[in-house]
Structure 1
Amino acid sequence: MPQVYALAPLTSGGYWSFIALLAILVGLLTFIYFSTLPEISKIISFGLLLLTLFAFSWVFYKADDSKLIIGDDTLTLDVPFYAITLPLAEVKIKEIQRLDWQRDPDLKLESRHNGVGMAGYQLGWFKLSNKQKAFVAMSEEQNLVMIPTLRGYRIILSLQEPDRLLSR
């Protein structure tokens, strides 16, 4: 029977970051709609911004519904745009641990290579201070869990109840 672990919901800073971003996108859409750009430029710009607005709205909506699912033989991370499923044989189960950046500064996020990075929400592929690659789904810096894999990267998550996973 699969065990489901909810990722930590957005903090107020994360909510405000998304709201500000969505408001800016709506403002840009309004500006383009009423601008005197050539028609083809207006259509393309409007379409691309509308697509961006829908994408970020979906990430905002799904951010609080993200979860880690550990089944009999798979680990699945259900997050917006980046769902990951790994065989449990490729996960170093015994090395799953809480992550404290005061204690492990070499595991701090250094740069984002593909994903969403905003105040209060980090999602996607990052390079760590120790130059390793990590997949990150983080809405807060407390309750972080690091899951090492045999694929050469780590998974860093902020969970609602990290001790529940660690006691497994």
Structure 2
Amino acid sequence: MVEEYLLAPLTSTGHWSFIVLLGILIGLGVFIYFKQMPKVSKAVAIGVLLPMVLAFSWMFYKVNDAKLIISSDTVSLDVPFYGFTIPLSEVDLAKAERIDFSQTPALKPDLRANGVGMPGFQLGWFRLANGQKAFVATTTTDNLVLLPTTRNYPLILSLESPEKLININ
């Protein structure tokens, strides 16, 4: 039996964050293209910028299709660039709980260790306010779920329907 839980889609803040970021990167590319500079420098700058535009465009496209997949023996997180699978035995589904950062500020992501963080979207590895490492995939501060693991880090996810996951226990 496989159960899928959709992560919450981007809010308008998240959409605008991606649009502004992509607009800035594309604008920078246009500026570099028309700027008087050596051809090698221009090629290197565009060569660095183009993969960034493509990567963020792909992430923007795929983020609304992200999901948590729980099978009989694994828990998988299908998210852009940071997807992973861990054994079900290492996730404590019975202790899955809804959280609210205003009620539990110690669980709020503080420092990004390896990920993407912008208004309306956080994805990757973060240091929480309490100093603990966590994997975070949030698009909103509503419908947050904390999934404890035995790997010394929790998963903090914004799910479309968190009550479906909480009620399976």
Tell me which interval the TM-score lies in, with the shorter structure as reference length.
over 0.9
Aligned to 2:50: 50
Q: Mapping of 1:3-82 within 5 angstroms?
A: 3-82=3-82
Identity percentage of aligned residues: 55
Give how far 1:130 is off.
Answer: 1.2
Identify the residue that residue 134 of structure 1 maps to in structure 2. 134
2: CA distance, partners of 1:77 / 1:25: 28
Distance across 1 between alignment mates of 2:137 and 2:11: 13
Deviation at 1:79, TM superposition (A): 0.3
* Matches of 2:21 and 2:104, distance apart in 1: 32
The CA deviation at 1:146 is: 0.3
Distance in 2 between residues matched to 1:27 and 1:103, nearest whole Å: 41
How far does residue 164 in structure 1 lie from its aligned partner after superposition?
Answer: 0.4
- RMSD between aligned alpha carbons? 0.7
Match of 1:111 in 2: 111
SS in 1 for 2:65: coil
Structure 2 counterpart SS, 1:86: strand
Q: Distance in 1 between matches of 2:82 and 2:102?
A: 28
Structure 1 segments of 4+ aligned residues over 3 angstroms from their partners: none
- If the length of structure 1 is used for normalisation, what is the TM-score? 0.98
Post-superposition offset of 1:103: 2.2
Whole-angstrom distance in 1 between the partners of 2:11 and 2:116? 16
Amino acid at match of 1:134: A
Question: Once the 2 structures are TM-superposed, how far is the Cα of residue 113 of structure 1 from its aligned partner?
Answer: 0.7
CA distance in structure 2 between the aligned counterparts of 1:108 and 1:117, rounded to whole angstroms: 13
Partner of 1:153, secondary structure, is: coil
Shift of 1:92: 1.2
Report the TM-score when normalising by structure 2: 0.98
* In 2: Cα distance, 1:160 partner to 1:74 partner: 21
What is the number of residues matched between the two proteins? 168
Three-state SS of the structure 1 residue aligned to 2:154 is: strand
| SS of the residue 1:64 aligns to | helix
Q: CA deviation at 1:70?
A: 0.2
Structure 2 gaps of 5+ residues are none
For the residue of structure 1 that corresponds to 2:140, the secondary structure is coil
- In structure 1, stretches of 5+ residues that fail to align are none
Larger mean Cα displacement after TM superposition, 100-109 or 76-85: 100-109
